Structure formats: C-alpha cells, structure tokens
C-alpha cells in the first residue's frame, strides 16, 4: 500500500494521499480522524489491546465515512446521503466501487495510522 502525507501550508492540516484502492482511507484520516482527538484515542486504545480476534470489533460512524475493524479486516465506506437533485444522485451512482469503499488488513491499517500520527505530531 502506497501513501504519503503532506501539510497544507495555508491551513496546517495534514493531507493524506493513498493509492487508488485505499484512497478512502486517506479521506477518512483527513476528514473524520484529523479533528477528533476523542476518536483517535478510542482507536489507539482498541488497537493497543493486541488481541485482535474474530470476536473483537470496533466501529465509528462518521459524518461522511464510516469504518469497521472486525478481527483482522478493516472496512471503510461512504455514508449514503440525501441528494439534493437527480443530477447529484446520478453522479453519486457513477462513482466506482473503489472510491465508495475500501478494505485492508489490520496490520496495514496500523502501519498507516502510526505513520499518519507520527507525521501529524511533527507539525
């Protein structure tokens, strides 16, 4: 999985760029996790337990993107929104599945999260 982090010089916010298959993860970092220390803490506590079994699950329903960690798998998806017009609905339906959802192993997720947190702490 390829990714990089940058800082927006005008806002100071971290911008995440992931490979196409995992682009939604970068959006989740930027849009849901970035401004939520409470969510960051809950996620770190869950992952630090170290006993990721099939019976262990964590989820966060976000404003735009939701995430579920279930055993060794992490799944993200865009939340369905009310569309203001038929044109918006049609545009939304044309999105490729790769942009509307993503999944990855929990080890890859932990590595990306750790790198993102380290980068964020540096700014």
Q: Which domain holds residue 93?
A: 3-121
Q: Which two tokens stand for residue 16?
A: 């995440």
Task: Work out the average pLDDT over 62-71.
Answer: 93
Q: How far is CA 100 from the centre of its chain?
A: 12
Residue from 93, 100, 95 nearest 75 by CA: 100
How many domains does the chain contain in total? 1
Residue 52's pLDDT is what? Answer: 55
Q: Categorize the per-residue pLDDT at 7 as very low, low, confident or very high, splitting at 50, 70 and 90.
A: very high
Residue 47's pLDDT is what? Answer: 83
- The answer to whether the pTM exceeds 0.85 is no
Tell me the three state secondary structure of residue 67. Answer: strand
**Given a cut of 70, is residue 98 above it in pLDDT?**
no
């Amino acid at each position: 999985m390829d990714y990089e982090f940058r800082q927006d010089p005008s806002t100071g916010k971290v911008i995440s760029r992931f490979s196409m298959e995992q682009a939604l993860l970068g959006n989740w970092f930027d849009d849901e996790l970035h401004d939520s220390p409470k969510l960051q803490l809950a996620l770190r506590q869950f992952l630090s337990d170290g006993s990721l079994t099939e019976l262990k699950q964590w989820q966060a329903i976000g404003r735009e993107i939701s995430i579920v960690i279930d055993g060794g798998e992490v799944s993200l998806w865009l939340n369905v929104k009310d569309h203001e017009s038929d044109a918006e609905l049609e545009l939304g339906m044309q999105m490729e599945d790769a942009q509307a959802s993503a999944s990855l192993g929990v080890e890859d997720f932990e590595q990306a999260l750790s790198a993102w947190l380290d980068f964020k702490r540096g700014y």
